[in-house]
Amino acid sequence: MKWKFFAFSAILILILALVFYEKNRAIEVEIIEIQPVTLAKTIKEVGKIVPKVEYTIQSVVAGKIIRMYVEEGHEVKTGQVLAEVDSKELEFQLKQLQAELKVLKAQEALSFRKPLDSEVKTQELQVEEAKKDFEAQESEFKRIKELYSQGAVTLKEYESIKNMLEKAKINLQRQQEALKLLYESRNPTEESRTYYAGRIEALEAQIDLLKYKIERCKVTSPIDGIVAELSTKLQDVVSPGTKFMKIFKSGEYLLEVFIPADFAPNINPGMEVKLIQGTNGKELISKGVVEKIAPSAVEKISALGIEEQRIKVTVKPFTAETSKLIPGMVIDVEFTIQEKKEVLAVPKTSLFPYGDGDAVWTVEHGRAKIMPVKTGFESDNFVVIEEGLKEKDLVILNPQTPGLKEGRKIRLKLAKLEI
């Protein structure tokens, strides 16, 4: 019987030893030392590279393209001819208007030609003769009228002399009007001058317009740049407003990115942003600055097909790699919409429910301890601890570590986390 007692005692001692060992065995956990950090809430959106300086080249005339000198991707200089539109019809119209102007100026010169003294004298004599004739006819009419009232002449004779008086009156008026025109031609009236000046000015304006259109038949580049989006070809018929192509200035680019309208109040001109560009399987990180913000939202369709209200934000990239940027390239843009400085924070994954709130596992004197905390501001992965922790406290990252319990001996492994 004694051997059974000793055997049972040995097993019991072994079990107790194992329990004691397990209870006092230190488990290894990853911990962080609480230090003041800057915590930021960010949003990331896709931006598209656009030229900072870009011109849309359009036709200002109607006609057929008879020459095309460039292709997409060609580098051009300021003033370089890009294409030509047929200008023959415009040139014919110009010749016609120039001829009309010449005729009008000749008419003006003829109208304002000063008459000879002899012409004036002759016309004055004709007026005098017409006046004498009128007076004689008037006197005769009065005599015949008196006789007619007495029945001494017939109605036919009365009507005849009356008609002769009317003709003499008309002749006198005509001669007087002709004399008046001769006098006016010596000193043209303001109305006459205005009439001819207005017509000449109108014709000259039409001629200038045609010259402008003929000049614009040669389509030129407004800047040194690169040809893009060529949308016409040789023999195409264009009209005013038809787009030929775009010319953009190489090496100067902006980013256009549309952010949710709800975040717009947190974005301001001059704000620094983070640019993330995927290159050959690597991420190229650079910076940019918000240059301007659109005054109103536009409707955009998300990747999930949902209608969203978004604000266009223009960003100027700060990067030595601008030579590798091309219009249409997409780059991720990270905006900091809210930031807290000099705060104590822990990863969200280190929290666990405790009572009516949250808690973290801390290490005090080499042993695990539950520490209730009050949380505040959150970023994507971290949360601010407003109450419960102080600087240099040790917090266990994984609250689900096997064997972790209150008072458990801890072997520390310091982790490094990027905020």
Task: Give CA–CA dist 67/241, Å, rounded.
Answer: 18
Contacts by 297-306, CB closer than 8 A, 24 or more apart: 297/261, 297/264, 298/258, 300/258
* pLDDT at residue 335, rounded to an integer: 94
Is the per-residue pLDDT at 416 higher than 90?
A: no
Task: Give dist(CA 273, CA 258) in Å, integer.
Answer: 14
- What is the assigned CATH class of domain 54-85+220-243? mainly beta
Q: Residues 6 or more apart from 52 whose CB is under 8 A from it?
A: 249, 252, 253, 254
> Rounded to the nearest 5°, which phi and psi values hold at 243?
-80, 125
- Per-residue pLDDT tens for 179-194? 777 666 656 667 777 8
pLDDT digits (tens, 9 = 90+) for 311-344: 999 999 986 554 578 888 899 999 998 889 999 9
Q: Domain spans of the chain?
A: 54-85+220-243, 93-211, 249-326
- pLDDT band with cut points at 50, 70 and 90 for residue 175: confident
Residue type at position 189: T
**Lowest-pLDDT range of 154-158, 213-217, 342-346:** 154-158
Taking residues 389-410, report their average pLDDT. 91
pLDDT band, residue 104 (cuts 50/70/90): confident
**Residue with more model confidence, 148 or 216:** 216
CB 104 within 8 A of CB 203: yes
- What's this model's pTM, rounded to 2 decimal places? 0.62
Q: Is the dihedral of CA 354, 356, 357, 362 positive or negative?
A: negative
Torsion, Cα 252 258 263 268, to 10 degrees, reads 20
